Structure 1
Amino acid sequence: MVLTINFERFKANFNELAAIGKKDDGGIYRMAFNADELLARNWLEAKLEAYGIPTRRDAALNIIGRYENEANQDKPAVVIGSHIDTVPNAGALDGALGVLVGLECLLCIKEQSIQTAYPLEVIAFSDEEGRFGGMFGSRAFAGQLNPRIIEESQDLDGIMLSDVLQQLGVDPYQALSASRPKKEIKSYLELHIEQGPVLDAENVSVGIVSDITGLFKWQVRLLGAANHAGTTPMEMRKDAFMGLADFAHEIPRIIDENGGEASRITIGNVALYPGSANTVPGEVDFSIDARDVSLEVMNELKDACRKALSAIARRRQLSFDFTEASMIYPVACDNQMQSHLEEAAQQLEMSYKVMPSGAAHDAQMVAKIAPIAMIFVPSKNGISHSPHEWTDWHHLESGANLALNALVRIAGDR
């Protein structure tokens, strides 16, 4: 039997949520726990309750709706979801789409009185986008939080996560109790926009994710000597910026020799000191964001970056140090769940592509306690984290129908 969503209802819910936090510049500003994100939370809870789906907030403020029957209520849950918080000046799809599809899937299954072997949950994780570091809710859900993370997490304005939670009437340390034991979660499915150009360029309806990239972020400092731009001969300079320039040119070689097709290295932020037009830069601080779907390759990229920077520092007479700001491990999606997705896509006569994810997702955290799978839908021109972010309605409908049919297969798998 092929199931289809109520697309008009889905569109109406999509448009209602997209209006919350939308400003005059066209962007959405639902950063974690701000006034608009709290309104969106209330909207989601009201929708779930109006549709007769019991709803709760856990100690990490994740919103969870549950659909069960007498025969399956004591079994582990099949979970579908994502997040509804956004980056500043965001589009309407990233994160929210996965929650809205999860909501629609539970409604369709409930309306048609489909008796699944396992209970179903839809979840909206808190602070995925990183106002306070990212993936707060899914880390709590998967038991990956600790007191130090709670105590040290703050936003770019210096506002502490613990203070915000207290203002909301929540004991920050209670977030540690949001952890779900493995025996309670059978599997997790997440639908997301690709956030890249591949599906759109190839005119493919959906992507079935094989692996989710890992990433490490370094903050690097090269220290030379600031000096007069006119009186210091070129061969006598200790120019920190030239060290950065040398490293930037090394990146293609590092990926060719130590990486693979899924490898990415990005220098996204640079600060020069003293920052004067007529002064040789004595210091440069910059970020490195490196990604791959293989932990072994990531470790090779780390070694190669370190060796390249050390060699450049010696050659340029600079000192070099770095700190690892974060490390997220790559994960593979579950083979059986991928098979369910492929079988459902074939049944729906839908074009699909098996592909890795180059971005991190809540699924990465949930993989610590349960098998995971992900569905991608195309991003127009590969644009994301922007008011120009969009996916054609027919692709959204295709992705939601795939999620619905795959969810019934997964939840019916005894």
Structure 2
Amino acid sequence: MPESTATTPTDLRIDLQRIKEDILALSEIGKDEEDRGIYRMAFTDADMRGKRWLIDRIEQAGLKSNVDGAANISGIFTGKTEKPRVLVGSHIDTVPCAGALDGTLGVVVGLECLRRLVEAGIETERTLELIAFSDEEGRFGGMFGSQSVCGYVTPDSLATMSDLDGVLLQEEMRRQGYDPLAALDAARDPDSIRSYLELHIEQGPVLDRMHKSVGIVDEITGLFTWSVWLRGEANHAGTTPMDMRNDAFMGLADFAHEVPRILEENGSERSRATIGKAQILPGAANTVPGIVEFSIDVRDTSEEFLDDLSTAFQKALSAIARRRNLKFDFEQKSYLQPVACSEDIVEQLRTQAETLNLEYHQMPSGAAHDAQIMGRMVPVGMIFVPSKNGKSHSPAEWTAWSDIEAGANVMLQTLLHLAQN
């Protein structure tokens, strides 16, 4: 039932108990009883059960539900005008052995915000739409739902996208009753969307260590990932003198020591570079390594710095290869442009946090999110809440309920402001 008219929009707060109930209920869908991890990967049966659960909760809240061709789930709070709508959301698919909050928290908080407007009998100028995007976590490459909304999915990509086991996205979509080509119809007109907001756990340790309840994201990092090969000459470990070796692994060791210098000279304080995987061939204890293949993941919130780092890493690898008598080659596996959050939305988030007497920290996002894709098309904003001990993508992932309540109330008041202006 609508609340008393004594409740004004600025007094409106979320119902934390209901958020708790929704988080805990959804965490049971796809949970493994042995490792306690959640397995709700995109377009699995568990993911479909999660989507049906969400549709039920949307309709119970008195909102209109919708499912588009990419299997994005929406809940719609209809405004008084046809002005461009405000979107809020995230995703409910997970990585294998996931925690309960990554993605899910943003969807549940978005639902609660719209639910509170219904209960309070508030009318808004603009329509508000909750959206839970498909396959953010990357079973089939990641960001499938938001890329579909932005019109970045093509017939060719639909025909070729597959998971690590070779299962095609189009096969899984058909198995779940979806026409893959209908994902092309999920594309939205940018002029129909005022903005997109997302609340997410930080997935890092910064807010937790600072004891701040809210992070206000100003930029979302861009990144590139390479596969790199250094090729030398495999030879006998006992009979090949040290000064006569073309040791591919020594080339990698040299490069690993160069990474901090390159970041300092060519990057920014927001630059990150990680060598996360390496393979030594032939891989025998008594053989000088002939080939090393390794990955490098490089991130920054500035495209200019990313370009500079790319050039610097190539120069360093070429120089090491010449010095060690190796051959150097690389392949770029992925590239995501950095995205700046809307200055107006960042300012509004700051204003609402201050009005609620919350301590906040303005910060970048070092991880990719659906907001990064949406930010290429419409103004975006993001709220972070702390991750206990920086944990994410594991059953140990958690956030204090008080921090969730703080972030959710900032979201509620920001959505109200955006929907009325």
TM-score range, shorter chain: over 0.9
Q: Distance in 1 between matches of 2:297 and 2:160?
A: 22
- Aligned residue type for 2:16: F
Scaled by the length of structure 2, what TM-score is found? 0.96
1:88 maps to 96
The 3-state SS of whatever aligns with 2:394 is coil
Between the aligned partners of 1:160 and 1:211, the Cα distance in structure 2 is 33
Aligned to 1:283: 291
Q: Tell me, which stretches of 5 or more residues in structure 1 are unaligned?
A: none
CA contact (8 A) 1:267 1:289 kept: yes
Counterparts of 2:236 and 2:164 in 1: how far apart (Å)?
A: 34
Query: What secondary structure does 1:225 align onto?
Result: coil
**Distance (whole Å) between structure 2 residues aligned to residue 320 and residue 22 of structure 1:** 44
Structure 2 unaligned regions, length at least 5? 1-9
Q: Following the alignment from structure 2 to structure 1, what is the Cα–Cα distance between the partners of residues 122 and 202?
A: 30
Distance in 1, Cα, partners of 2:256 & 2:316:
10
Deviation at 1:77, TM superposition (A): 1.1
- The residue number in structure 2 matching 1:16 is 25
- Counterpart of 1:43 in structure 2 is 53
AA aligned opposite 1:65: G
Alpha-carbon deviations, 1:191-210, whole Å to 9, x = none? 00111111110111100000
Counterpart of 2:256 in structure 1: which amino acid? A
SS of corresponding position for 2:130: strand
Q: Is the 8 A contact 1:181 1:369 kept in 2?
A: no
Specify the alignment match of 1:398 in structure 2: 406
Give 1:26-175 correspondences, 5 Å limit.
26-69=36-79, 71-72=80-81, 74-175=82-183
Sequence identity, in percent? Answer: 55
Counterpart pick for 1:294 among 297, 302, 323: 302
Does the 8 A contact of 1:2 with 1:405 survive in 2? no
Equivalent residues of 1:127, 1:137 under 8 A apart: yes
With 272-281 and 165-174 compared, the bigger mean Cα shift is at: 165-174
TM-score, with length taken from structure 1: 0.98
Report the secondary structure of 1:208's partner residue. Answer: strand
Contact 1:101 1:191 (C-alpha < 8 Å) held by counterparts: yes
The residue aligned with 2:419 is 411
Partner Cα distance (1:84, 1:126) in 2: 8
Output aligned runs, 1:144-223, within 5 Å: 144-223=152-231
State the distance in 2 between where 1:323 and 1:178 align. Answer: 32
Query: How far apart in 2 are the matches of 1:82 and 1:278?
Result: 51
CA distance in 2, matches of 1:28, 1:168: 20
Question: For 1:110-155, what per-residue CA distance to the aligned partner results, in whole angstroms no more than 9, with x for missing partners?
Answer: 1111111110000100000001001000011111222232222111
4+ long deviations beyond 4 Å: none
SS where residue 273 of structure 2 aligns? strand
> Which moves more between the two structures, 143-152 or 378-387?
143-152
Contact 2:229 2:292 survives alignment (8 Å): yes
Counterparts of 1:149 and 1:275, CA distance in 2: 36
Whether the 8 Å contact between 1:187 and 1:372 is mirrored in structure 2 is yes
Deviates more, 1:28-37 or 1:188-197: 28-37
Which residue type is aligned with residue 161 of structure 2? Answer: S
What is the alpha-carbon distance in structure 1 between the residues aligned to residue 170 and residue 234 of structure 2? 41
Residue 301 of structure 1: how far off its partner (Å) = 0.5
- 2:62–2:118 Cα contact (<8 Å) kept: no
Partner of 2:14: 5
1:356, CA displacement in angstroms? 0.7
1:321 aligns with 2:329: yes
User: Residue 242 in 1 paired to residue 238 in 2?
Assistant: no
CA distance in 1, matches of 2:331, 2:185: 31
- Structure 1 residue 171 displacement after superposition: 2.3
Match of 1:377 among 381, 385, 392: 385
Residue 308 of structure 1 is aligned with which of 304, 309, 316?
Answer: 316
Equivalents in 1 of 2:372, 2:169: separation in Å? 22
What is the aligned-residue RMSD (CA, Å)?
1.0
Q: Is the 8 A contact 1:254 1:301 kept in 2?
A: yes
Deviation at 1:247, TM superposition (A): 0.8
Q: Helix, strand or coil for the counterpart of 2:11?
A: coil
CA offsets 1:71-115 (integer angstroms, 9 cap, x no match)? 22x221100000001111111111000000000000001111111
Equivalenced residue count is 411
